[in-house]
A = this chain, B = another copy of it.
Amino acid sequence: IGPVIEMALEAKLIAGGDLSRHVSVSGEDEIGDLGHSINQLTRRIKGNMEELKSFGERTKLINIEIHKRVLALSSLLQIGENISASAQMEDVMTLIVEKIVQVMDSGYAMLFLPKPRAESILESNIAHNVTNEKLSQLEIKIGEGILGRAVAEDEVIYADSKAKFSKEVSRFKEDWGIKNFATFSIISHNKPVGMLLVGNDLEDFEFGNDDLELIKVFAKQAVIAYESEELTKRIKQSTIKDDLTNLYNEKYIIARLDEEIKRAAFYQRPCSYILFDVD
C-alpha cells in the first residue's frame, strides 16, 4: 500500500493547484493505471489552462481592435456631421487630426495644406499632440524632397520598427527627429493639395494594414472637407445674386457700375445711380 500513500499525497498537491507535479508510475497493475490516469488528467488541465490563457490574450487584442473601430466609426459620424453642417474647414480638419490620434491611441497627427499665396508649399497649421517643435515647422514643397514627391505622386510612405524603408526615409527620420510615421496624400481632382502625417515615438511599434486603412479613411474625409470648402468658395466667387432676395449683390453691382460709367463717359451722357434702402 506504500505507493498508494505516496500517490495520494502527490495527487492532493496537484489537485490543490500545483500542476508542475506528476505522480511516479511503476508497474503495470491497477496502481500503475491509476497513476497514468492522474497524470493524464493533470496534462489535460495544463493544456486547458494554456488554451484559456491564449484565448484571454487573443480576446484582449480583439477587444482593442474592436474598440479602435467603434471609435473610428463614431469619429467618422461626427466628422460627417461637421462636413454636412458646412462647418468651417479648419474645424473639420482639427476634428480629423484629433480623432486619428484618439483612434491610434498614441502619438500625433499633422495636416499639411497649401500656404496662402504659395500654393505649391504645404504647411501644417492644423495638428494634434505634436511635441516636436522642429517638426511642427516642417514645410513640404510639392514635387520636392521625400514628402513633396510622395504627395505629388499620391504615394503612401511609412516607417516603423518592422517596415523596410529607403535610406532617404531613414535620413528624413533623423533630420526631423521622428520615429514611426505614415503619410497620406490629400488629392482633389487629381491635384495634390495636402498631406496627412500620423506618427508616434513608441518602441517596437508596427503599423498594421488595418491602421493604414483606418488612417486612409480619415484622409479621405479630409479630401471631402477640402472639396466642400472649395465648392463653397467657388459659389461665393461666382454668385451674382443674393440667395435670399434674389437681387444682384454688391460685387456684381460694382462691376456693372464700372461698365456703365465707362459707357456714359464714351457716349457723353449723364449716369445716375439710385440706391433704395428698404428696412
Contact = CB atoms under 8 A, between A and B. Distances in A.
Contacts of A73: 69, 72-73, 213-214, 217
A42 B45 CA distance: 9
A33 B8 contact: yes
User: Per DSSP, are chain A's interface residues mostly helix, strand or loop, or mixed?
Assistant: helix
Interface stretch (A46-54, A104-112, A134-142, A162-170): A46-54
Interface stretch (A143-151, A196-204, A237-245): A237-245
Interface residues of A, number: 68
Given A73-B213, A214-B73, A84 B241 contact: no
Interface stretch (A59-67, A93-101, A114-122, A153-161): A59-67
Nearest to A69: B69
Contacts of A179: none
Given A1-B1, A8-B33, A77-B220, 9 more contacts: A8-B37, A58-B59, A69-B72, A70-B210, A81-B220, A224-B228, A234-B235, A235-B235, A238-B239
Interface of A: 1, 4-5, 7-9, 11-12, 14-15, 30-31, 33-34, 36-38, 40-42, 44-45, 48-49, 51-52, 55-56, 58-59, 62-63, 65-66, 69-70, 72-74, 76-77, 80-81, 83-86, 188-189, 210, 213-214, 216-217, 220-221, 223-224, 227-228, 231-232, 234-235, 238-241
